[in-house]
Structure 1
């Protein structure tokens, strides 16, 4: 129940006992709980005054402390107010000059040349950090094997060199995400101070596509806004990361990058590779400022790549659509072509009635939608060759499809192209499919086997293959302007 106070223009009435009473309109609200005639009094905590203004920062450079206070107003018989009378917050000023004297050193130096310990002897004092309470002004006498505590350090003094935390009222406190010292407030996985992770979703998956050839395979898109990214696997394969401009951040262009920290999409990506075993990890706090493409450079069958990150709820739908448009190798194993031994044809009985042959259903699934400027720009910038090709023929070979093409116009090439080339696509049902006797704009990659015995042009699954037209020609030339040189 709210405590009643005399408002403006009101005055306390008196009962026959001589004690002050509340106005009758307020007494009706209290009912039988409070009674002037019985001399009852309101119990409970008092009330706080509004917070005062923040003081100036305790330091002139670097980190310091600012404080504000309030007072507890209570009537006789009421308890003390619940809460603190002072609130401290971190204030951050420009860094101190390189040769500036530390704050604790200045406080110890105030006692230089002054008698202490009840004698007339004087000493030169420097900070001593081995004492139990790090927020006491513990100073060591230079040239002597003893230290003396001069009481508490001033508010805003660092608790210990190189560590977070400032001394406030004799206690070492760290600032929460709200900037208040000792509040304990922390950001949730969504980046909200004091939140409960209810504004973002946890994405956790395992990429298990094994691949049928050595080379780069798309794993997933890491969307803009992703936080707390973690990727790990155990194999001789290598994780690769590509920026939205088509430039590799690490392990690109068939070159393995050293472990370390890499700047990408506005965050720091920590790349580790175990020296004692085939394990790699990627970690990034985020949030990412733009999309990243996670790939794997296959050298052996993929045992599984685990990846996880947190994503704002409002971005999850677009992330799902982008992943579907990105395209991956076929998940279902394709039947291998094998030669069966010939057998003698069975004897055909006489008068066999004619039967109608029904065509076998198409075993190929529909290809994902790969339209859009972002898809064109990603594959154009990340490819080795972009050219206009006339499809002369198509041949299925086990787990791959080989296209025979005639190169008619080259837009981009990192090595010479011949007029007559072969383009390989993974799977018995390649995506996108290329129809014979048609013209396409193709963006392909050059894949050289580790032993150097195979040198191929690869059209990635769900890669860039558009029917050629003057409009598509203009779009490709425009995309070339946005790729890094």
Structure 2
């Protein structure tokens, strides 16, 4: 629009009838235009104040510089929307809903569409990942909006439920769906079984707390020939958090890309120093867990844990969670089939687009002792007073 002001004007003695904007340039707040039908471009200086730096951001150009704009509409504001899409919020008006859909490898009849779960209306920050050679599919109403009729979409934007999903499908079969939301209509998630490896799908999203109810757990009947399996469905309700997961013998099936631990590249774990109060105050979560399983996923250690008691958390935690160590070295030392007192931080993982519960090499991890429970309860009760001496750290 701003380039068109210079249409039908002479430039260096030549009439240029139409100019087009060039957006892929180092200085996004510079008005650089291309003469249509030619390779000639020219910079007319700064764009008008108030011009958006890019379509996906509220940041705007002021006096030729890109100035951040917070969700409150103020310049140079660092106010951001939380997962509930509340400006400056602390994720306390909504609750995370997570479903892990896992099946063991089928023995026969594995080709076909299978229903997995329903993403309800009002869901925000929807993240769906699949890491096996099977494919994701999505239905709105009675129509497929993704990978229907045995036709696969390329990576790109998918319009569904009144929002735009970013769909990414890698050549290795990994898939990711993400939408900021909120969805206006419910969506049915399906998996296209095309491989002898069973699906391993993680679905997470946030819902307003008032919307969470037992009605959000939808029992879906399989419309194709059922796949032979012995898995059972667990539905847990804990503090208004609903988790629905498919497990075999209460242990997740290992994904096909699981690798052996490379112990040769790891050093001896350093001793964690500092008092328990300092670690408690600098951590985002302090929990008593039972470690159910341990895997390497994309170069990181992932622990599947059952949370037995929560002493501190800055975001809602579920009865079943994944904890991560961001390397293949098991420091601190944690073993499956044991109970621990674990502290850590909440981080944002750019690769998956999800928030994660991360155990740092400096995090306090202790083998669980029953006698310690009262000690941590008292620490929790007095944390406001005890933590005044320490600066809270919530990022890596």
- Pairwise TM-score range, normalised by the shorter structure: 0.3 to 0.5
Whose RCO is larger (CA < 8 A, sep 6+)? 2
Q: What TM-score comes out, normalization by structure 2 length? A: 0.42
Q: What TM-score comes out, normalization by structure 1 length? A: 0.35
Name the larger-Rg structure: 1
